[in-house]
Amino acid sequence: MSKESEMGSNSHHNQEAALEPADSTLWFRSYLHGGTSSLISTLTTVITFPLYKTVFRQQLDSTLVREAVAQLLREGPVKLYRGVAPPLLMRSLNGTFLFGFQDTFLQQLSLWDTSPVPRSALPALAGLGAGVLEAVLFTPFERVQNVLQNSKNDTSLPTLRSILRKLASKPLASGYYTAFLPILVRNALGSSLYFGLKDPMSETLRACGCSPLASSFIAGVLNSMVISLPLYPLSVLVANMQAQVDGGGGGVKSSWQRLWAARQHKLVLLYRGGSLVIFRSCITWGITTAIYDQLKRHSRTSG
């Protein structure tokens, strides 16, 4: 058998193996591996949180980097990490459920005898379902995080407990689930693209001579870049909709119109801070993907 045909056979075998029904132990491992990889990658969240907070201020006020940094310096080091708890908790739980739900959906979809969707597209379809559940579970975390990071709330809502009480007193649509629709669209599309592209990218890189670990890391980086660029405006919209507890209001359409007018109808201003977000996301998802795939490979060989 030639090298090319052997590689094609192995790729087909790996794809079929990924779609085979798993027993309860293998089903549980995807949750464990996802949680472990995300927990380890939270180190990058801690390190890059000041960077993330700088970007948040740019998303909120459309300021330059130096202006956002000066604003954080004036507030002092004590408040620099205000709002870090929700993303740390969210990041750890996010990987557990995102990878776990996607694998669970994939196993169920693979049981269909006849499906209108090609088998090669099932990982992306399962990722879409996982992204929907991710939005339902984690929108409240993102809401609390954005309120905490907005310095305009420091006086009226000085503690996490005060924020939780305030949000709980409101209807879900204007409380914990503010901006749910754009988060749903962003997460569902992002997860679908991630799981649809991850393995094909990794296989292509391995075919070019990259090691399994390097190919997973690079695939995670490239995947994140492909996803972050078109979906970044949704993150800006979410940040502006969720940053205030009182005031603002309105639906997605009116919020977008206010945001677009505030950015002077210029796409370049809407993407202000986008390069920092994409850089941070690329590093985080590169590490997460590499660790998850490595754990999955080790589990298969040891099992």
Please give the average per-residue pLDDT across 225-250, as a whole number.
88
pLDDT in tens, 148-203: 888 888 888 888 899 999 999 999 999 999 999 999 999 999 999 999 999 999 99
In the prediction, which pLDDT does 83 show?
65
Backbone angles phi, psi at 139, to 5 degrees: -55, -45
In the prediction, which pLDDT does 87 show?
67
pLDDT in tens, 252-266: 999 999 999 999 999
CB–CB of 138/88 below 8 Å? no
Q: Which one, of 131, 133, 129, 161, lies nearest residue 147 by Cα?
A: 161
CA 183, distance to chain mean position in Å, is 10
pLDDT in tens, 2-23: 444 444 444 444 444 444 444 5
3-state secondary structure of 286: helix
Using CA atoms, how far apart are residues 234 and 240, in angstroms rounded to an integer? 10
24-299, CATH topology level: Mitochondrial carrier fold (1.50.40)
Percent of the chain residues past pLDDT 70, beyond the cut: 83
Q: Which one, of 92, 104, 245, lies nearest residue 166 by Cα?
A: 245
3-state secondary structure 28-56: HHHHHHHHHHHHHHHHHHHHHHHHHHHHH
Using CA atoms, how far apart are residues 109 and 105, in angstroms rounded to an integer? 6
Domain boundaries, the chain: 24-299
> Helix, strand, coil: what percent of the chain each, to 5?
80, 0, 20
pLDDT in tens, 118-134: 888 999 999 999 999 99
In the prediction, which pLDDT does 39 show?
66
* Greatest mean pLDDT range, 31-40, 232-241, 280-289: 232-241
Full-model pTM: 0.79
Q: What is the dihedral of CA 39, 40, 42, 44, to 10 degrees?
A: -170
In the prediction, which pLDDT does 17 show?
44
**Which pLDDT band holds residue 278 (cuts at 50, 70, 90)?**
confident
CB–CB of 167/143 below 8 Å? yes
